[in-house]
Amino acid sequence: MHISPRLHVDKETPSTLSLSVVSHVFQMNKKRDLFEDIELYDEVTEIIPFSMGAPGPVALSECNAIMMEATAKALEDRSEDRYIFQYGPRQGDPKFRENLANFLCKEYEDSKISSDDLFVTAGATQGLHLVTTVMFDKDIPIFVEDPSYFIAIKILTKDLGMKVIPVSTDGGGIITEEFERLLLKERQENGVAENKKSPFTAMLYTMPTIHNPLGCSLSPERCKHLIRLARTYDILLFTEDVYNILYYHGKPPKRLLSYDERDDPQYKGNVLSNCTFSKILAPGMRLGWIEAGERIIKIVTESNVTWSGGCFNHYTSRLVSTALQMGLLSQHLKTLRKLYGDKMKFACDSLKKNLPETVKINPPDGGFFIWITFPETFDCAALAKLCASKYGLNFILGTSSSPTGSFKNCIRLSISYCEMNELKVGLDKLHAAINEQMKSTSAS
Ligand SMILES: Cc1ncc(COP(=O)(O)O)c(C=O)c1O
């Protein structure tokens, strides 16, 4: 997650768009940002949160009606009490998995999704934590794209102490030849590590669709290459499919999971798709799911941590199940795609129009983030300081998103939390800050 204390006052946060509301929100935002590497924002009292990858008040404003309706319906049948309030089945409630499978078939335009392949989690973060802890011994290599989701890097390295190996990317996502090279190098130097917890000898934490922070999706050639490597070397492709359904143009992007064709004679099930309702409904629900083939679902379902707690978020899943069955989420998704799509277009147009030619943006395929690349010598840390101290806005530094501390000349902007008016104000300020920083760099 990426939420500053500002979100803790959500209940009071109004959902209209007027400028007075924006300034009211600023007033409430008097505490510091939680990100450890941008504690330089401490002194700031008013921050436009371009750092935040959470839904804003408008995106959340429909959730109350959705959940009121779904909850009333889900709780109306009292004979269900003994199931809905009980520990849930380990893999997740069958009705929920069925409604979810139907929803996903429609939204991914993929008829092959089966409820047997779905496992209920308490969100993508918990999905990552569960898989890495119950499927991998600590010394098993975990390959991570450089750059990647900045908190996942910290989870894997700091919380879990895993052996993380960074893999380079380009504008199209992970460079799969580089992944192959590093994989072979690792095997040559250290042999094939013995993993007592699952048949996988390594894991790749990857975002093949609408990457965070790059915004890009992997080409079919690269997807096929990853599948070949995964099958040959018994690698788990852990795909963080958090933004897949939030595409703003055309058809849904094809997922890496669907390249691991079950009809292939070499099929074993090497891809796990880790998903969440945080971006398409509400992060407060703490509900997500894993989609994978039988051998992976079996391991997570039979783990002791799942045995002890049962389904990781059973009650909420039953409510969301009803919302799915009533068609409330498909309707909501249409609203979200328009809301975020409009903001994304506005932000990309504004950046393209106002940024100097030497500054590049990668217009994303969907999701929340715009990755901005400045000339090599540009100091983004100094820009962050200037933005915080003089212009009242923040963003994520490229270095935070990098397991190697690279990308000093890059930043990640999020369009998700700010409403349109705040976005406009913030982008004007950002352009002014960039100009000021560029002038001072060229003068020095
Ligand atoms: C790539 C990625 N993974 C995981 C998360 C967190 O998801 P959840 O709220 O489901 O734990 C985020 C949120 O920004 C994300 O961008």
Report yes or no: 95 and 101 within 8 Å, Cβ to Cβ.
no
Angle of helix 328-354 relative to helix 63-75, nearest 10 degrees, comes to: 160
Query: Considering the domain boundaries, does residue 402 fall inside one?
Result: yes
306 and 198 in a single domain? The answer is: yes
* Whether residues 317 and 370 fall in one domain: no
pLDDT category at 365 given cuts 50, 70, 90 is confident
Ligand 1 neighbourhood includes 273 CB (under 6 angstroms) = no
Q: Looking at residues 279-301, what average pLDDT do you find?
A: 98
Query: Whole domain around residue 27: which residue ranges?
Result: 5-53+330-443
In this model, does residue 30 exceed pLDDT 60? no
Q: For residue range 149-167, list pLDDT tens digits in order.
A: 999 999 999 999 999 999 9
Residue for token pair 């009980």: 86
The residue from 273, 306, 329 where one domain ends is 329
Whether the per-residue pLDDT at 25 is higher than 50: the answer is no
| Digit-coded pLDDT (tens) for 378-411 | 999 999 999 999 999 999 999 999 999 999 999 9
Q: Is 374 found in the same domain as 423?
A: yes
333 and 245 in contact (C-beta within 8 Å)? yes
Task: Verify that 383 and 405 share a domain, yes or no.
Answer: yes
Helices (H), ranges, 12-93: 19-28, 57-60, 63-75, 81-84
Provide φ and ψ at 412, rounded to 5°.
Answer: -115, 125
Do 126 and 265 lie in a common domain? yes
Give the pairing of strands 48-49 and 173-174: unpaired
CB atoms within 10 A of CB 356: 11
Q: What is the pLDDT of residue 38?
A: 43
Q: CB of 125 closer than 6 A to ligand 1?
A: yes
Does residue 282 lie within any of the structural domains?
A: yes
| 199 lies in the same domain as 320 | yes
Distance CA 6, CA 20 (A): 17
Distance of alpha carbon 406 from alpha carbon 177, whole angstroms: 20
Given 298, 329, 360, which residue is the final one in a domain?
A: 329
pLDDT, residue 47, reads 87
Residues 383 and 252 in one domain: no
CATH of the domain at 225: 3.40.640.10
Tens-place pLDDT, residues 218-250: 999 999 999 999 999 999 999 999 999 999 989
Q: Is 169 close to ligand 1, i.e. is its CB under 6 Å away? A: no
Average pLDDT on 352-356 reads 95
Whole-angstrom distance, CA of residue 41 vs CA of residue 39: 5
Residue 146 lies in a domain: yes
Please check the confidence at residue 29 and state whether its pLDDT lies above 80.
no
Do 295 and 374 share a structural domain?
Answer: no
pLDDT in tens, 172-207: 999 999 999 999 999 999 999 899 999 999 999 999
Start-to-end CA span in the chain (Å) = 38
Note whether residue 60 is domain-resident: no
Ligand 1: nearest atom to the Cα of 125:
11
Q: Which of 329, 349, 378 is where one domain is finished?
A: 329
Domain-embedded: residue 62: no
pLDDT, residue 142, reads 98
Question: Of all helices (H) and strands (E), which one includes residue 142?
Answer: strand 141-146
Q: Is the dihedral of CA 253, 256, 262, 264 positive or negative?
A: positive
φ/ψ of 411, rounded to 5, equals: -140, 160
What is the Cα–Cα distance from 435 to 367, expressed in whole angstroms? 27
- Indicate the pLDDT class of residue 443, thresholds 50, 70 and 90: low
What band does 16 get if pLDDT is binned at 50, 70 and 90?
very low
Q: Which atom of ligand 1 is nearest to the CA of 54?
A: 14
pLDDT tens track for 105-121: 999 999 899 999 999 99
Task: Say yes or no: CB of residue 129 within 6 Å of ligand 1.
Answer: no
The pTM (predicted TM-score) of the whole model is 0.90
**Confidence (pLDDT) at 410:** 97
Same domain, 84 and 43: no
The Cα 416–Cα 235 span in angstroms is: 33
- Which atom of ligand 1 is nearest to 124's Cα? 10
pLDDT recorded at residue 275: 98
| DSSP category for residue 158 | I
For residue range 34-77, list pLDDT tens digits in order.
Answer: 344 444 444 445 789 999 999 999 999 999 999 999 999 999 99
Residue 10 pLDDT greater than 50, yes or no: no
CB 179 within 8 A of CB 167: yes
**Is there a single domain that holds both residue 323 and residue 336?**
no
Q: Write down the pLDDT at residue 362.
A: 85
Q: Is residue 59 part of a domain?
A: no
Please say whether the beta carbons of 36 and 66 come within 8 A.
no
Q: Is the pLDDT of residue 27 over 80?
A: no
**Shared domain check, 157 and 116:** yes
CB 233 within 8 A of CB 199: no
58 lies in some domain: no
Report yes or no on 373 lying in a domain: yes
> How many structural domains does the chain have?
2
User: Are 365 and 215 within 8 A, CB to CB?
Assistant: yes
- The CATH number that applies at residue 41 is 3.90.1150.10
Burial zone of 260 (CB within 10 Å; 0-12 exposed, 13-18 middle, 19+ buried)? buried
Residue 315 shares a structural domain with residue 359: no
Q: Give, using CA atoms, the residue closest to atom 12 of ligand 1.
A: 1
